[in-house]
Amino acid sequence: MAGLLGGDDDTNQPTTKRTKGSNADSMRTLSVEDLKDLGGGDHTCTEEIHVNNDCFELYKEMQKNRRWFHQNPEIAFEEVETAAYIVACLKSIGIEDKDIWTEIGVTGVVAMIYGEKKGESTCIMLRADMDALSIQESSSADYASKNSDRMHACGHDGHMSALLGAAKVCFNNKNKFHGCIKLCFQPAEEGRHGAPAMIKDGILEGQAAGLRCGGPRVDACYGIHLWSFERLGGIQCSEGPVMAASDRFTIEVKGKGGHGAVPHQSKDAIVAAASVVTSLQSIVSRNVDPLEAGVVTCGTINGGFGYNIIADKVTISGTARAFSKNTQEIIKSRMGAICCGLQEAYGGSNTLDYEYGYPPTVNAYPDCVKNVQRTGDKVVGPKRSSLPQKTMGAEDFSYFLEERPGCFFFVGAAKRGEILPHHKSVFDFDERALLISSSMFVELVYDLLS
Catalytically active residues are 131, 189
Nearest Cα neighbor of 321 from 390, 393, 388 is 393
User: What is the Cα–Cα distance from 86 to 82, expressed in whole angstroms?
Assistant: 6
> In this structure, what is the dihedral angle of CA atoms 372, 373, 378, 382, given to the nearest 10 degrees?
170
Residues 6+ apart with CB under 8 A from 4: 61, 64, 65, 68, 85
User: What is the Cα–Cα distance from 183 to 90, expressed in whole angstroms?
Assistant: 10
H-helix segments, 15-155:
32-37, 53-57, 59-71, 80-93
Contact (Cβ atoms closer than 8 angstroms) between residue 215 and residue 422: no
Phi, psi of 375 (to 5 degrees): -65, -40
Nearest Cα neighbor of 222 from 168, 162, 271, 265 is 162
Count of CB atoms situated within 10 Å of the CB of 290: 7
Question: Residue 111: enclosing H or E segment and its boundaries?
Answer: strand 108-114
User: What is the Cα–Cα distance from 117 to 181, expressed in whole angstroms?
Assistant: 13
Contact (Cβ atoms closer than 8 angstroms) between residue 394 and residue 328: no
